[in-house]
Chain A
Amino acid sequence: MTETYEFTLLVAGADVQTDEALNALAEASCDDATVGSSGGVQHLDFDREASSYLAAVLSAVDDVETAVPGVRVVRVLPDEYVTLAEIAQRTARTRESVRLLSIGERGPGEFPPPAARGAERNKLWRWAEVASWFASALGEPVHLAPPPAQRAANAILDLRASTAELGRAELSQVRQELGSLVRRVALIEMASPASLDAKDARWSHADSA
C-alpha cells in the first residue's frame, strides 16, 4: 500500500534550475517535484508516492543525484504547511478548538495568519509559526522535533556527507560503529511482532500442509 509523502530536499553542488537539469530531473522520475530557490538555497518540493516516508525520501535522493551530475542532497525538511486538522493532531486538541483559536474566539488572539489558501476553506499555516504561537501565547510547549523517519533520513545524509571529510582512523571507527548499528537495527527489525507473526504463520502453514 502506498501513500503520498510531502517533503523538501535541500541540494547543493550543482545548479538544478537550468533547462538541462530540469529536463533531466523530469526524466529521472522527479516530475513529482517542484524546483525552487530561496535565500540562495536550492530546494525540491516533493509529493512522492511510496510505501513509507523513508522509501519516498531515499528514492527521491537517489533520483535527484542520478539526474544531475555533481548535485548532492544535504537535508530533508518536513512539509512546513499544515491544515487545521493537522494542527489539532499535533497539539492534541480538537479541530474545533484550533479553529476557535485561529479566529480569535478563544485564547489571547493574534493566531498566525494563514500562509496559503487564505481565501479558501482549507487554509494552510506554517507549522513553525503556529508552534511558536502555541508556546508564547498559550505557554504550551509544542513538540517541534521532527518525526523519527525524518531524523533517520537526515542522519543518513549527514553521515554520508561527513565521511568524505574524515581521516582514516576516524573512518575505521565509523565503520565499526556502523557495523554495530546494522546489527542493532536488524535485531530490532527481526524482533518486531509483525515480522515474527509472519514467520510463525509460515511455520504453522508448513506444519499443517
Chain B
Amino acid sequence: MLTPPELNQQFSSPAERAAAQAELQRLGEFLREVVAAASGTAPVPGWLAAELQRPLHGHSEPPGERLARYHTVFGDELHALDDVLSSETENRLDDDSLRAARYLARRLLATLLDCPPSEVSHRLPARPG
C-alpha cells in the first residue's frame, strides 16, 4: 500500500470529520510534548516518563537516550505534523491531509508506546501533561 489507509475516501458525515479532527488535535498535543521534552524546552511529562521506563523489545535503554533517538529518527515526521497542526487553526485541512495526518500521528505514537496504532488512544491518559 503506497498511501495511508482510506486516504481517498470522503468522510461520511461532518461528525465523522469532526471526530477525526479532535483525535488529531489530541494526539498532536501528546506529540508536541514529546518534541518539547526531547528538545529540552519543557520537562518530560509524567505519561512519557512512565513510557520511557518500560523496556522496549526486551531491551532497556536510558530514557533520555531513547527519547533523543526517537526524536532523531522521526524528526521530519514530527516537524511535518507540527506544521499541519499549526496551519489547521488558520486553514481547514482537506480530507486527504486530515486522514494522512491522523494516521501519521497514530503511527508515531504507536512506535513510541510500542503498541498497535489502534490501541494508541487507550494507552494515553485523558489529557496531556
Contact = CB atoms under 8 A, between A and B. Distances in A.
Given A192-B2, A207-B56, A187 B73 contact: no
B97 interface: yes
A184 B76 CA distance: 14
Given A183-B83, A199-B73, A199-B77, A191 B59 contact: no
B57 A191 contact: no
B103 A203 contact: no
A191 B103 contact: yes
B50 interface: no
Contact of B111 (A186, A200, A206): A200
Contacts of B61: 207
A84 B62 CA distance: 62
Interface residue tally of chain B, by bracket?
A: 20 to 34
Interface stretch (B3-11, B12-20, B38-46, B118-126): B3-11
Interface string B91-129: 100101100110110010001000000000000000000
Interface string A171-209: 000000000100110111011111010011011101110
A1 to B, nearest CB: 15
Nearest to A203: B73
Interface of A: 180, 183-184, 186-188, 190-194, 196, 199-200, 202-204, 206-208
Interface of B: 1-5, 7, 56-57, 59, 61, 66, 69-70, 73-74, 76-77, 80-81, 83-84, 87, 91, 94, 96-97, 100-101, 103-104, 107, 111
Smallest CB-CB A-B distances: 7 pairs = A191-B104, A191-B100, A191-B4, A188-B100, A196-B107, A203-B73, A191-B103
Given A188-B100, A190-B80, 14 more contacts: A183-B83, A183-B84, A186-B80, A187-B104, A188-B96, A190-B104, A191-B4, A191-B103, A192-B3, A192-B4, A193-B1, A193-B4, A196-B77, A199-B74
